[in-house]
Amino acid sequence: MKIIKDSAPSAEGFRMPAEFEPHAGCIMIFPERADSWQYGAYAARKAFGQIAEAIARSEKVTVCASAAQYDNARALLPAHIRVVEMSSNDAWARDYAPTFVKNALGEVRGIDWGFNAWGGLCDGLYFPWDKDDHMARKLCDLLDKDVYDKRDFILEGGSIHVDGEGTCMVTESCLLSKGRNPELSKEEIEDVLKAYLNVAKVLWLPCGIYNDETNEHVDNICAFTAPGEVVLAWTQDQTDVQYAMSRACLDYLEQALDARGRRIRVHKLPLPKPVTVSEEECRGLDACLDRPARTPGERLAASYVNFYIANGSVVMPAFGDPADETAREILQRLFPDREVVQIYSRDILIGGGNIHCITQQIPE
């Protein structure tokens, strides 16, 4: 594996493909952290396993597990899912596995961004995060991919979406947060995205989902379903705090043009009714940084937008809400050539994310 320090992907003809382009596989991490996953992650591991199996029906899945959990992961997951021992601080593959870029010859390379647990000592979510921060490079080594060293720039995979045709989408609340790259201006951040993802246009949504502890990652509020088309998490309830947030994103998208000069077609994806943590769930969590990890009644950032597009399916969350089926039907209409598979993901949501946050695609 070569570590590339002196140039950026766009200078060498590499670009980040859209998630709906063909994959060689998917990376996940086996959950075990006791302040993220209630009751020793028992239920979270079952949900991760169901998601891995659903994705593995159409692409190779690699699951990283700690030394302590390797045997358990190997026993839980079927033989066609690869399990490798790799240390991490938690299980958010989207955020610390490499972002992959590809050139016209089909060569794939990784990008190793800096990771500081969603805000470092400013408003990060746990400490330390050193093992997470090392994963991108280890995974590139494992997969035999050269890697761009961009550790001087803090970025998580869940904070970017691309359409594969020159447009990237982010939220201001996340990329301009004080805990990421406070020394850089908005224009300088855009320049890094353009150089590393090889995009010509960055769409800056103002915000994400209410109480999303990542400073509102884009992958929970809005996602490309095709070039020029997005789904946006939406509520009709004007009294809900989320209404103004989704409305602000819609207003932004309705006046925006993408890199090809297209107007963006916005499909509204309903949100489930507010999901809150129960006392029983809180009792099952260890403390985090000397504080309770969650408090009873706390609202979680539940959204159907947090889905993963696999080669043959779209794997999306279910919350046991009446909107589950409506959301599934909308995604099925938008992805007619893929089977939309719904997986009950409350146990992942309690950890602070959902299906997109725990998966990272490797382009074909």
Q: Which of 26, 222, 249, 357 is catalytic?
A: 357
Instruction: State which of residues 45, 217, 328, 338 lies at the interface with ligand KQY (CB under 6 A).
Output: 217
Q: Which amino acid is it at 312?
A: G
| Residue 362 near residue 21 (C-beta atoms within 8 A) | no
Q: Which amino acid is it at 131?
A: K
Q: Which amino acid is it at 56?
A: A
Shortest distance, position 52 Cβ to ligand KQY, whole Å: 17
Residue 338 found at the interface with ligand KQY (CB under 6 A): no
Residue 99 found at the interface with ligand KQY (CB under 6 A): no
Residue 213 found at the interface with ligand KQY (CB under 6 A): yes
Instruction: State which of residues 352, 359, 360, 363 lies at the interface with ligand KQY (CB under 6 A).
Output: 352
Q: Which two tokens stand for residue 296?
A: 């009873």
Tell me how many degrees the CA angle 279-173-187 measures, rounded to the nearest 5.
160
Helix (H, G, I), strand (E, B) or coil at 269: strand
H helices of the chain, where? 42-56, 70-76, 93-96, 120-123, 130-143, 172-175, 186-197, 241-255, 279-283, 323-334, 346-349
Which residues, in sequence order, are bridge partners of residue 362?
25
Residue-by-residue DSSP string for 132-200:
HHHHHHHHHHHHT--EEEEEEEE--GGG-EE-SSSEEEEEHHHHT-TTT-TTS-HHHHHHHHHHHH--S
Active site residue 249: no
Residue 317 found at the interface with ligand KQY (CB under 6 A): no
Shortest distance, position 285 Cβ to ligand KQY, whole Å: 10
Size of the site for ligand KQY (CB under 6 A): 13
Residue 95 found at the interface with ligand KQY (CB under 6 A): yes
Between 95 and 258, name the residue whose CB sits nearer to ligand KQY: 95
Residue 32 found at the interface with ligand KQY (CB under 6 A): no
The interface region with ligand KQY, picked from 54-62, 65-73, 213-221, 336-344 by CB under 6 A, is 213-221
Shortest distance, position 71 Cβ to ligand KQY, whole Å: 25
Instruction: State which of residues 222, 350, 357, 362 lies at the interface with ligand KQY (CB under 6 A).
Output: 357
Spatial CA neighbour of 202 closest among 187, 216, 214:
187
Q: Please, what is the end-to-end C-alpha distance for the chain in angstroms?
A: 18
Residue 214 found at the interface with ligand KQY (CB under 6 A): yes
Between 296 and 322, name the residue whose CB sits nearer to ligand KQY: 296
Instruction: State which of residues 16, 28, 36, 138 lies at the interface with ligand KQY (CB under 6 A).
Output: 36
Q: Which two tokens stand for residue 124?
A: 């990060």
Between 110 and 353, name the residue whose CB sits nearer to ligand KQY: 353
Between 13 and 297, name the residue whose CB sits nearer to ligand KQY: 297
How far, rounded to the nearest angstrom, does the alpha carbon of residue 177 sit from its chain's CA centroid? 18
Residue 346 found at the interface with ligand KQY (CB under 6 A): no
Residues with a known catalytic role: 357
Where do contacts with ligand KQY occur on this chain (CB under 6 A)?
Answer: 36, 92, 94-95, 125, 158, 213-214, 217, 351-353, 357
